Amino acid sequence: MEDLFIKAFKQADYHVNGHGPRHLQVLKDAIEDLVGETESDMYGKGRVIEDFQEKMAGVLGKEAAVFFPSGTMAQQIALRIWCDEKGLKTVAYHPLCHLEIHEEDGLKELHHIKPILLADENRVITLDDVVNIKEEVACILIELPQREIGGQLPDYRMLEEISEYCREKGILLHLDGARLFEVLPYYKKSAQEVCALFDSVYISVYKGIGGIAGAVLAGSVEFTEKSKVWKRRHGGDLISLYPYILSADYYFDQHVHKMDQYYEEAKELAELYNRCAGITTLPKVPVSNMFHVHMEARKEDMEAIFAQLYKETGIGLTGHVRENGDNGSRFEVSLGDLYSRVPKNRLKEVFAKLDEKMKSR
């Protein structure tokens, strides 16, 4: 069934999520108008990397920024630098933090850093969680939005209070801003304002930004210079990172000003899902361009329903359904350039049919 479902998804006329397929054309478009003589970066030096790093430092309001091949590498290194600074091997983050569940325990295996898990799996970190940490920690990592629970956010005031508390106590605060730009419309803040609450900031260049791969780590010059040493140790100081940097720069300019639109569209789309029988979104009202869709039907059943739906309507809602508990399933939605290309009448049709199919299961 999964194969048929994926096939039906791929063959749909329109897709609702994201910026489009992750294929070679993404790279071709990014470099098409650049001259062939554009010089490569060389082990972190050269205009192509230095210019982009300066641009990102400015955007994030930090002294300096460093381009990394991945966020996994950038964030482990950020926490390691803060641990070394404090002479402590303990940090704190959410139980569904990327470092905890997606990195094969790199933080523990390579850096021997112990994480304390804050809050619980179903909610974001609050000031109480931070105040009640029983051990001394070097650093706290906050992810905005909390991706694994649908992209939830703390109130901005709460964030400010956590930041103030950490400064007072000498705890360093790191931002997992993989989707930082995506939350700015809800917070009604600039990237600089949000980043000012944190000592170090990581952003991804291939989520809402739409690049190919890569990450930026920003902070003080002292911090970023140390991060370059660790980047080399990790094997991330490549002779050439320009394929990622040039595409990050290209798509940053294309997408960063459209985060308001994606946010509004996410709210609109979530409402359409929430009107369907047996379907709810998390959060109910999105606070960024993303949310999760929870269904009261098993993965195989939903894949069958979706495969049918895509064939009937030509609209692909998702290509990836996961189990959720014993009798449920879910998938993630991130809005990008594709949503606005879907004709509104066809979108209404697909959700009317989805509602019917959910009722007649």
Residues at the site binding a second copy, with contacts judged by CB under 8 A: 21-28, 31, 34-40, 42, 68-74, 76, 103-106, 109-111, 206, 212-214, 229-230, 232-244, 246
- In angstroms, what is the minimal distance from the CB of 15 to a second copy? 14
Nearer to a second copy, 1 or 101 (CB): 101
Nearer to a second copy, 13 or 136 (CB): 13
- In angstroms, what is the minimal distance from the CB of 83 to a second copy? 13
**Shortest CA distance to 192 belongs to which of 325, 61, 36, 289?**
61
CB 68 within 8 A of CB 74: yes
Q: In the sheet that 114-117 helps form, which strands lie side by side, from edge to edge?
A: 64-68, 215-219, 200-204, 172-177, 139-143, 90-93, 114-117
- In angstroms, what is the minimal distance from the CB of 49 to a second copy? 13
d(CA 98, CA 292) in angstroms, rounded, equals 17
- In angstroms, what is the minimal distance from the CB of 162 to a second copy? 26
**Shortest CA distance to 64 belongs to which of 184, 209, 253, 201?**
201
d(CA 168, CA 214) in angstroms, rounded, equals 33
From residue 7, give the alpha-carbon distance in Å to each of 212, 299, 308, 330, 339.
24, 16, 11, 19, 20
CB 292 within 8 A of CB 145: no
Nearer to a second copy, 41 or 303 (CB): 41
CA 2, chain centre distance (Å): 26
- In angstroms, what is the minimal distance from the CB of 226 to a second copy? 11
**Shortest CA distance to 79 belongs to which of 114, 54, 104, 103?**
114
d(CA 350, CA 14) in angstroms, rounded, equals 11
- In angstroms, what is the minimal distance from the CB of 105 to a second copy? 7
- In angstroms, what is the minimal distance from the CB of 251 to a second copy? 13
Nearer to a second copy, 86 or 353 (CB): 86
d(CA 341, CA 3) in angstroms, rounded, equals 26
- In angstroms, what is the minimal distance from the CB of 29 to a second copy? 8
Nearer to a second copy, 123 or 232 (CB): 232
d(CA 243, CA 41) in angstroms, rounded, equals 10
Nearer to a second copy, 251 or 273 (CB): 251
DSSP character at residue 342? S
Nearer to a second copy, 70 or 126 (CB): 70
Nearer to a second copy, 1 or 34 (CB): 34
